[in-house]
Amino acid sequence: MQKIAELMRAKAVELLQSSKAERVLAWRAGEFFYDNAPAAFNDVDACQEIVYNEFCPANLAKYLIEATKQQKKTVVFLKPCDTYGVNQLLKDHRIKREYFYAVGTPCSGMLDVKKIKELGAKAITQITCEDNKVIVETPYGTKEFAKEEVLLDKCMMCKGNEYKIADEELGEKLEPIQFVGDRFAAVKAIEAMSAEERFAFWQEELSKCIRCNACRDICPACSCEQCIFDNQEAPVGGKAAADDVEEQLFHLIRAYHVAGRCVGCGECARVCPQGVKLGLLNLKFIKDINQFYGAYQAGEDATTPSPLVSYKENDPEAEEAVQRRG
């Protein structure tokens, strides 16, 4: 993916110089090479700092809201999965098409440094990928992992290598990831539990939450101009203000209010510092929507109405739908 980084820098410079755009959204190296962060680049010199490797998981889509507010044409590099979020933001009228130029950026799967560390790699100095092998250099020697072991959870649910929106594509598409399993497997496992077990599971999971709102901030479907959780006066404003019940309701409502718009990008679960499995709530809604109302993928395009703003006369009744669950 090093080659892609070069292509990105060149493309960013070309677009800035041709005045097709005023700024660029891409990734910048963090303290370590495996914690790259989203960044805006405003001139040609700055663009030399653009990086791209297996550690650029963040979806830049949401930063387009700012670009639209500033009314500055912005180049945005989008991995195939990121394009779904952009379409959803367009559909929700949160960004305007005239203010961004989308460059499709090939991806062969992002890696999870936490998994690599948990597998025993300490003081990592370099990570290289060769096909399905991940080679990790450390002062204590070289370790080798199968890609499948260290891929980000969200990449295990990869939607493929198609860009759903792009003004142009960078280089050749990379092979889609081969390890994609049943993305609802974890949801089904919970469904199979008894009611008591399900309750205990969620109580355990959601109790970990520290209410940092990272899951809200990253989500391309959660983009209201004003959010109740920013109101310090509100009794739900944060960990300190909220009582126990509000804590739990936060998660139910967070998941519910994006139902039908959630693109299933898995970003919410990825950014959670507490490892709350909150993405499962969203996947449950996606599974139910597909089952009750027919297959639907949010962000596939910017026009199809969401299933929660549509209906059929012969939709199942609520009780009936829950019975049909399985």
Partner 1 sequence: MLKDAAKFEPKIVAFCCNWCSYAGADGAGTARKNYPANVKIIKVPCSCRVNPMFILRAFQRGADGVILCGCHPGDCHYSTGNYYTRRRMALLMSMLNFMGVAEDRFRVEWVSAAEGAKFAEVMNDFVVQITALGENVKLRDLRCKK
Task: Pick the closest to residue 46 from 72, 66, 26 (CA basis).
Answer: 26
Q: Is 118 in the site for partner 1 (CB under 8 A)?
A: no
Contacts with ligand SF4, 109-148, as mask; x by CB under 6 A: ----------------------------------------
> Buried b vs exposed e over 105-142: b needs ≥16 C-beta within 10 Å?
bbbbbbbbbebbeeeebeebeebebeeeebebebeeee
The least distance separating ligand SF4 from the CB of residue 249, rounded to whole angstroms, comes to 13
User: Of 63, 145, 202, 229, which lies in the binding site for partner 1, with binding defined by CB under 8 A?
Assistant: 202
Of 25 and 268, which has the nearer Cβ to ligand SF4?
268
Contact at 8 Å (CB) between 111 and 132? no
Residue 304 touches which member of partner 1, ligand SF4, none, C-beta under 5-8 Å by kind = none
Q: Which residues pair with 39 in a beta bridge?
A: 26
Q: Which residues pair with 102 in a beta bridge?
A: 76
Strand pairing of 141-146 and 133-138?
A: antiparallel
Q: Which residues contact 27 (CB under 8 A, 6 or more apart)?
A: 36, 37, 38, 39, 50, 51, 52, 56, 58, 60, 77
Stretch binding partner 1 (CB under 8 A), from 26-34, 83-91, 175-183, 196-204: 196-204
Residue 285 touches which member of ligand SF4, partner 1, none, C-beta under 5-8 Å by kind = partner 1
**How long a stretch of residues is the chain?**
326
Interface residues for ligand SF4 in 179-238 (CB under 6 A)? 209-215, 218-222
Contacts with partner 1, 57-96, as mask; x by CB under 8 A: ----------------------------------------
- Site residues, partner 1 (CB under 8 A): 187, 190-191, 193, 195-204, 206-207, 209, 243-245, 247-249, 252-253, 255-256, 259, 281, 284-285, 288-289, 292-293, 307-309, 311-313, 315-319, 321-322, 325
